[in-house]
Amino acid sequence: MNARDLVLLTIGVVAASQVPQLMPSLNAMNAGQVETVSSIEPEPKPNVSAPLGSYVLEANRSGHFGGNFVLNGKSVPGMIDTGATFVAMNETTAKRLGFTGNSLDYRYAVNTANGPAEAAHVLLDRVEIGGVRAQSVEAFVLKDQSLNETLIGMSFLKKLKSFAVENDRMVLKQ
């Protein structure tokens, strides 16, 4: 995949993933209300009856599926985003995972809900949640002001055997 393809795939992905999070806040601001919206809630307890090699996420109040993922061995709160081509994280998270300034080449132009941004392409050794894991997962790193939470996109999900949503539950199968 060349750089142009990566840029085209990611343009709008970050924006599309951020807009739904902004809507409750924007509606509250338009109504003159002050509201605190947290898009990542504490991870629900996994379903104990989930088969081996599976993990179940419960939807939060906003209908999103979030949890504590393990990226390169470190726990990171994240939200599943099927509209994101890649896993996306901010620079602070990337540095915590061991990506240094030298390895972060912000040469890809992307558009986000906060406007245009530059992104660096990285490869995560592994992404895990519960007993479900994938190796060699592509990700983009954006500056902190462009992205405030980690989005778990299709670069992780497509490495699984399957994922499905039913009755406010997402089942990930390895």
Most confident region among 38-47, 100-109, 121-130 by mean pLDDT: 121-130
* DSSP H or E run through 71: strand 66-71
Confidence of residue 111 (pLDDT cuts 50, 70, 90): confident
Written as six digits, the tokens of 116 are 């245009």
DSSP state of 43: P
pLDDT greater than 50 at residue 105: yes
| Mean pLDDT value across residues 106-128 | 89
pLDDT greater than 50 at residue 128: yes
Residue of 38 and 102 predicted with greater confidence: 102
Confidence of residue 87 (pLDDT cuts 50, 70, 90): very high
Q: What is the pTM of this model?
A: 0.73
Per-residue pLDDT of 21-68, as tens digits, reads 434 443 443 344 333 333 444 444 544 456 778 999 999 999 999 999
Residue of 169 and 48 predicted with greater confidence: 169
Q: Which residues contact 150 (CB under 8 A, 6 or more apart)?
A: 69, 71, 76, 77, 78, 79, 87, 88, 89, 90, 93
Confidence of residue 9 (pLDDT cuts 50, 70, 90): very low
Q: DSSP characters for 13-61?
A: HHHHHHHHHHHHHHHHHHTT------SS-PPPPPPTTPPTTEEEEE--T
| Mean pLDDT value across residues 117-140 | 96
Question: How far apart are alpha carbons 39 and 119 in whole angstroms?
Answer: 22
Q: Which CATH architecture has domain 3-173?
A: Beta Barrel (2.40)
User: Do the beta carbons of residue 118 and residue 107 sit within 8 Å?
Assistant: yes
User: Do the beta carbons of residue 156 and residue 127 sit within 8 Å?
Assistant: yes
